[in-house]
């Protein structure tokens, strides 16, 4: 028996970077289109899933899919410069070829969220994985109740996806609450940390799902505050970041207890996380 490209799960699909959007000083969003036309048509995924992106000659790194499957033909991922592959990606130009293994992992149980109010709480680059679900819900607006988005960053220049803020806030029954850490000239929105802003806004836990993602320290206080507001662990969802290589449960590095973040996650409810050892 031979191992052909199609059954070797470590061989990526080739994709062309069609568009690069500079989000912040260290973050860019890449729009990739599969070279294989049939795949371009058939490829689909779910909000919350992730992918392994190859820069040939450098290596592979893990990124969430930040685009929504409701908008077909391309996929997007946001990259913050932290390591080798992420730095290499910052340097490539539109038209470059990358490798993509996707979709990987589980996703937000958006069917269970139907009919409920949604509260998105994001910090910095943490907005990237939530953007997929957010745009998915906005594209299926009738399925969901009120949508509140609390999004914060260090400064206004550190807010990603600004070109979509209008679409978000103009969507019916949807509110976008922006906040930055320190005052800035011309900034008319809130100033303060995300967890504190959450307490100012005091969203009701009634029939609401909270989805949060951001730096660990923000998450820690957001969770505390959500509980104080009356949210139960079952109502809080997050997506975890973990060192990953294979993305398919084989290489062994992303476990938390007996769960693998790459296949049992990256999306977990707080109730699910409470069952796992505190090792993430």
Partner 1 sequence: MEAKVIAKSDIGAWMKGLADKCDVIAPVKDGDVSAFKKIEDFGTLSIDLPTPTVKGLREQFTPETETLFEYKLTGQQAELTSDTAAQKDRLIFGVRACDAAALKYTDAVNANCEPKDALYFAKRKQTTLVGVCCTTPAWSCFCTEIGDFLANPIMMDLYLTDIGDKYYAEALTPKGETLIGASQFQAATDADKQAAESAKQKVIAALPSPIDHAEKGKDFDWDDPMFTKLAEKCLACGACTFLCPTCHCFDIQECAQGSKGSRYRCWDTCQFEKFTLMGHGHNPRPSKNERTRQRVFHKFKYSPERYGILGCVGCGRCITACPVNIDIQRVVHKLEADK
128 binds, among partner 1, ligand FES, none (CB under 5 to 8 A by kind): none
Question: By rule CB under 6 A, what string of x and - marks binding of each residue 195-234 to ligand FES?
Answer: ----------------------------------------
Closest to ligand FES by CB, 14 or 251: 251
Which residues from 204-263 bind partner 1, rule CB under 8 A?
A: 216, 241-243, 245-246, 248-260, 263
**Count of positions (residues) in the chain:** 280
Among residues 236, 202, 222, the alpha carbon closest in space to that of 108 is found at: 236
Instruction: Pick one of 23, 46, 60, 117: the residue that binds partner 1 (CB under 8 A).
Output: 60
Question: By rule CB under 6 A, what string of x and - marks binding of each residue 237-266 to ligand FES?
Answer: -------xxxx-xxxxxx-----x-x----
Closest to ligand FES by CB, 45 or 260: 260
**Which DSSP letter does residue 162 get?**
G
Query: Judged by CB under 6 A, does residue 19 bind ligand FES?
Result: no
Closest to partner 1 by CB, 160 or 208: 160
Classify each residue of 160-184 as buried b or exposed e, where b means 16 or more C-beta atoms within 10 Å of its C-beta: bbeeeeeebeebeebebbbbbeeee
User: Which residue spans within the chain are E strands per DSSP?
Assistant: 13-22, 27-34, 50-55, 59-64, 75-80, 97-104, 117-123, 147-153, 174-180, 190-191, 208-213, 236-239, 255-256, 259-260, 267-269
User: Rule CB under 6 A: which residues touch ligand FES?
Assistant: 244-247, 249-254, 260, 262
């Amino acid at each position: 028996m031979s191992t052909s490209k199609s059954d070797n799960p470590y061989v990526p699909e080739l994709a062309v970077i069609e568009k690069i959007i500079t989000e912040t000083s260290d973050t860019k969003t890449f729009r990739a289109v599969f070279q294989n036309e049939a795949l371009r048509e058939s490829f689909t995924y779910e909000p919350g899933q992730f992918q392994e992106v190859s820069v040939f000659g450098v290596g592979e790194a893990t990124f969430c899919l930040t685009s929504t499957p409701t908008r077909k033909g391309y996929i997007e991922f946001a990259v913050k410069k932290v390591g080798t592959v992420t730095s290499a990606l910052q340097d490539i130009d539109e038209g470059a070829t990358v490798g993509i293994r996707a979709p990987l992992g589980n996703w937000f149980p958006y069917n269970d969220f139907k009919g409920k109010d949604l509260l998105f709480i994001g910090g910095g680059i943490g907005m990237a994985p939530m953007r997929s679900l957010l745009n998915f819900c906005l594209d299926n607006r009738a399925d969901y109740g009120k949508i509140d988005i609390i999004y914060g960053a260090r400064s206004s220049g550190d807010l990603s996806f600004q070109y979509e803020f209008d679409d978000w806030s103009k969507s019916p029954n949807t509110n976008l609450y922006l906040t930055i850490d320190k005052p800035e000239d011309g900034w008319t929105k809130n100033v303060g940390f995300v967890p504190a802003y959450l307490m100012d806004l005091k969203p009701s836990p009634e029939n609401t799902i909270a989805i949060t993602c951001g730096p660990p320290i923000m998450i820690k206080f957001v969770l505390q505050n959500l509980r104080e507001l009356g949210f139960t662990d079952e109502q809080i969802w997050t997506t975890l970041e973990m060192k990953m290589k294979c993305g398919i449960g084989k290489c062994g590095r992303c476990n938390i207890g007996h769960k693998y973040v790459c296949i049992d996650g990256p999306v977990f409810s707080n109730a699910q996380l409470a069952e796992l050892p505190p090792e993430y």
